[in-house]
Amino acid sequence: MSKDRRPASREGGRWLERALAIIERVGNLLPHPAILFGSLAAAVVVLSSVAMNLDLTAIHPGTGETIHPVSLLTVPGLHRILTEMVTNFTDFAPLGTVLVSLLGIGIAERSGLIGTVLRLLVLSAPRSLLTFVIVFAGILSNTASEVGYVLLVPLGAMIFLAVGRHPVAGLAAAFAGVSGGYSANLLLGTLDPLLAGLSEEAARIVVAGYEVNPTCNWYFMAASTFIIAIAGTLTTEKVIIPRLGKWEGEGSQEKLEQLGPDEKRGLVYAGIATVFMVAFLLWGTVPSDGFLRNPDTGSLLRSPFTSGIVAFIFLGAAIMGIAYGKGARTLKTGSDVVDGMTKSMETLGIYIVLCFFAAQFVAYFKWTNLGLIFAVKGADVLKASGLGDIPLIISFVLLSAVINLAMGSASAKWAIMAPVFIPMFMLLGYSPELVQTTYRVGDSVTNVISPLMSYFPLIIAFMKRYQPNAGIGTVVATMLPYSVVFFLVWTVMLIVWFIFDLPVGPGAPLKLPVG
């Protein structure tokens, strides 16, 4: 076992540990997310009756109509709850998109493609770019959910140890990319359709039929990939490594395995499959009359390409995963492919349960008109506050960041926040796509210091290999600089994006017309 020669690691951390202990205790008092959504759904039913008896109304700023609450504590309300319970669940936008996406990604994981690509990325990096590549690879790993936590975080420590640097710095750099840069990526992952589905459901409280595409944050998040990677690299080199000092532990110099012949052949096969996949997409999107463009307008907006992005995530991951598996001999039969998809579904049991209760909550919130009434009232308060565009954006980033400390799941938080804040900001003229982007920034930056983040105990376990006395305070003290830097850099980037009125994604403007 290695020794930790860094006595200063606990300096200034006691107050932080006490504060985090309080946060952890409070967070642990919260019920399971599924129970929480079920309770919220029941609360909406009761609140709808109270609101109707109090005659709580609001004037819709767009139509001028009076919005009245609808009580579900009535016989018609009971009938609607019973008869639409199933369709609330099956029509819940995030459910199908995540299930389909993960079917393809499960094949890519089962074949070993994702793990091999991450290893290749860090193995081929020059020594001077090693930290950047680790952070960058961490950000890209978000496409495949937990792979980054399980594979890349310990890998970052191994790589740093292999080149004679402090392994905790490598672990921190990888964790910063995987978790602190959770929303950034050059590619679309399972989180994009999930959040977009929740945003779409919330936006329809105000505008019936409003569509939020899974690509709606892609421009901003793709640009964020490089900004966050650079910020994470500088934080590691200028703050974390000097603070940790020289590694003097006795840990063995774990050698990072080079790619074997089978893995290299698998990558060649996957590369060939990728070329064909990209050629197919270019054939359908580049020509003005491409078969993946909107048949009426010829545009890529609201086209089969953008509307079918979930299908392309599934097909792309499945095709490349199968190609790699054939080349690397990790997928030998069709049963192996099905096993990969099955394995990915096994991890979604709790998500499906969560979706059932979240779907009821969102539906009840919409049926009762409470979401719209609260949105109008909240918008009136925000207007009266006199806060301008930029203070509102900063405030919402801060709110999302603070809530993230007490509730770890990005989708669970957004399922609660979206039905309130998206209609509220829409009535002020801000697009759902901008509100979702702002939420994702705040939700990401405090991941690395949130004890309630589901993989936080795993990070402590990894760190204990190199610092046996490591605990919550140790991890937070190490990761807090990343959280502060990411918050400042990402918020400034969002403000600059807003000032220049840049779309956050294809067909995703920042503002909507008011009135």
Lowest mean pLDDT among 247-256, 310-319, 366-375, 483-492: 247-256
pLDDT in tens, 105-128: 788 888 988 778 767 766 777 778
Highest mean pLDDT among 12-26, 134-148, 475-489: 475-489
Q: How many helices and strands in the chain, by DSSP H and E?
A: 24, 2
Lowest mean pLDDT across 25-39, 163-177, 209-223, 282-296: 25-39
Q: In a 3-state reduction of DSSP, which class is residue 158?
A: helix
pLDDT grade for 302, boundaries at 50, 70 and 90 = low
Q: What is the token pair recorded at 363? A: 């539906």
Q: What's residue 157's pLDDT?
A: 84
- The pLDDT score that the predictor gives to residue 460 is 79
| Average pLDDT value for the chain | 81
| pLDDT (0 to 100) of residue 9 | 42
Q: What is the pLDDT of residue 404?
A: 77
Mean predicted confidence (pLDDT) in 402-406 = 74
Q: What is the mean pLDDT of residues 401-427?
A: 78
Q: Using the predicted structure, report yes or no on whether residue 223 has a pLDDT greater than 50.
A: yes
pLDDT at 147 over 70: no
The pLDDT of residue 154: 79
Higher pLDDT, 309 or 435: 435
Question: What percent of the chain lies above the pLDDT cut of 90?
Answer: 28
Cα separation, 398 vs 466, in Å, equals 33
Mean pLDDT value across residues 347-370:
80
- Tokens representing 296 are 């009426």
pLDDT at 415 over 70: yes
Write out pLDDT tens, residues 165-221. 899 999 999 999 988 878 888 877 767 887 888 899 889 888 888 888 888 899 999
**302 or 444, which is more confident?**
444
What was the pLDDT predicted at 71? Answer: 93
- Look at residue 93 in the predicted model and tell me its pLDDT: 65
> For the residues 395-416, what does the mean pLDDT come to?
76
3-state secondary structure 459-512: HHHHHHCCCCCCCHHHHHHHHHHHHHHHHHHHHHHHHHHHHCCCCCECCECCEC
pLDDT at residue 224, rounded to an integer: 94
User: Any idea which of 245-259, 279-293, 421-435 has the lowest mean pLDDT?
Assistant: 245-259
Question: 3-class secondary structure for 25-50?
Answer: HHHHHCCCHHHHHHHHHHHHHHHHHH
Provide the residue ranges of all domains of the chain, joining segments of one domain with +.
10-499
Residue 492 CA to residue 207 CA, distance in Å, equals 30
Read off the pTM: 0.67
Q: How far apart are CA 495 and CA 488, in angstroms?
A: 11
Distance CA 465, CA 251 (A): 8
In the prediction, which pLDDT does 21 show?
A: 53
When pLDDT is averaged across residues 278-282 and rounded to a whole number, the result is 92
Q: Which tokens in the block code for residue 37? A: 């959504």
Average pLDDT over residues 6-29: 51
So what's the pLDDT on residue 350? 67
Mean pLDDT, to the nearest integer, of 332-348? 83
Has residue 98 got a pLDDT over 90?
no
